[in-house]
């Protein structure tokens, strides 16, 4: 018993600088979000093991961050059914909704009714196209099909997909059915970076798409731009509420710094009383605090 106690005490002291650095980051984040007129949740997992969390166990609406777990279920579905990213999906003209965010629709109009799974994933992850996401969602069995696949994959039941993009545009409050905790999403990105992206060509291509993400460059990516860090991420942007707030502005992903430090990060800002630009700047500042804290540790 004494020997076991000694081992526990010893292990608690073998990396005090790193643990202390994490506490400093967490304290800085607590101080930064204090007094903000928004509900903010942050989770960071450093080098696959050390965790920083502020409101990390609270539920937040995912918005288009949902397209990341959706993409993982599509990849699993492809693998399970002996398919490939080159297989095609046929959809009707009705699938190309006009009253939603869809760069794909702007490019092709309603003239195309067949695309490869790769094309649809690229539109969904790189451009955050809502029509592409819904076509994929329906192809794998809708929200119930996606839920079943996520549980088969061992994805946390704290990540819930209960509404399509069409559902959310019909009734914006249905977006709250797509929810997660910051910790669960940071853990999923961490698992993706360390395990899944190397498991098959499918997941590897998804990682390339995440690293080509063209939305929300004023969020997590903003303070990283001068560092030449690698970032793969997925953003989410909500809607104005009747109270004049923004339902959610989010950004989640993984970062590989030039100094070798790797971390996954999830930042959710819900019920914000600021405009989109100011709310996005909150995420950028959180990203900066994490980055500077990790640089100091080196």
Positive/negative CA dihedral, 45, 51, 52, 55: positive
Any alpha helices (H) in the chain, and if so which ranges? Answer: 2-11, 16-33, 67-80, 103-108, 117-126, 130-139, 142-152, 165-170, 182-194, 201-211, 276-297
Per-residue model confidence as pLDDT tens digits over 67-109: 999 999 999 999 999 999 999 999 999 999 999 999 999 999 9
3-state secondary structure of 59: coil
278 and 248 in contact (C-beta within 8 Å)? no
Angle at the Cα of 221 from the Cα atoms of 216 and 227, rounded to 5 degrees? 155
Residues making up the chain, counted from first to last: 298
CA atoms of 171 and 12, how far apart (whole Å): 50
Per-residue model confidence as pLDDT tens digits over 263-278: 999 999 999 999 999 9
pLDDT at 150: 98
How many other CB atoms sit within 10 Å of the CB of residue 239?
15
Q: What is the pLDDT along the chain (298 residues), one digit of tens a residue?
A: 443 333 333 333 333 333 445 899 999 999 999 999 999 999 999 999 899 999 999 999 999 999 999 999 999 999 999 999 999 999 999 999 999 999 999 999 998 999 999 999 999 999 999 999 999 999 999 999 999 999 999 999 999 999 999 999 999 999 999 999 999 999 999 999 999 999 999 999 999 999 999 999 999 999 999 999 999 999 999 999 999 999 999 999 999 999 999 999 999 999 999 999 999 999 999 999 999 999 877 6
């Amino acid at each position: 018993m004494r020997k076991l106690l000694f081992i526990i005490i010893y292990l608690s002291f073998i990396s005090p600088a790193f643990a202390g650095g994490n506490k400093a980051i967490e304290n800085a984040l607590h101080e930064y979000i204090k007094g903000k007129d928004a509900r903010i949740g942050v989770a960071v997992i450093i080098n696959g093991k050390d965790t920083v969390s502020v409101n990390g166990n609270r539920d937040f609406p995912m918005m288009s961050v949902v397209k990341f777990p959706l993409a993982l279920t599509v990849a699993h579905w492809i693998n399970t059914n002996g398919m490939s990213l080159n297989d095609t999906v046929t959809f009707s003209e009705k699938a190309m909704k006009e009253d939603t965010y869809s760069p794909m629709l702007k490019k092709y109009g309603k003239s195309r009714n067949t695309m490869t799974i790769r094309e649809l994933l690229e539109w969904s992850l790189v451009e955050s196209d809502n029509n592409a996401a819904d076509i994929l969602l329906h192809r794998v069995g809708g929200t119930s099909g996606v839920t079943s696949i996520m549980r088969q994959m061992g994805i946390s039941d704290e990540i819930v997909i209960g509404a399509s993009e069409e559902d959310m545009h019909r009734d914006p409050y249905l977006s709250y059915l797509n929810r997660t905790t910051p910790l669960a999403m940071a853990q999923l990105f961490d698992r993706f970076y360390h395990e899944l992206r190397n498991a098959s060509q499918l997941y590897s291509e998804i990682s390339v798409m995440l690293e080509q993400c063209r939305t929300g460059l004023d969020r997590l990516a903003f303070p990283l731009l001068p560092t030449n860090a690698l970032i793969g991420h997925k953003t989410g942007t909500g809607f104005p509420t009747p109270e004049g707030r923004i339902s959610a502005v989010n950004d989640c992903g993984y970062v590989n710094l030039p100094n070798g430090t790797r971390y996954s990060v999830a930042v959710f800002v819900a019920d914000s009383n600021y405009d989109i630009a100011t709310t996005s700047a909150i995420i950028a500042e959180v990203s900066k605090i994490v980055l500077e804290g990790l640089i100091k540790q080196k």
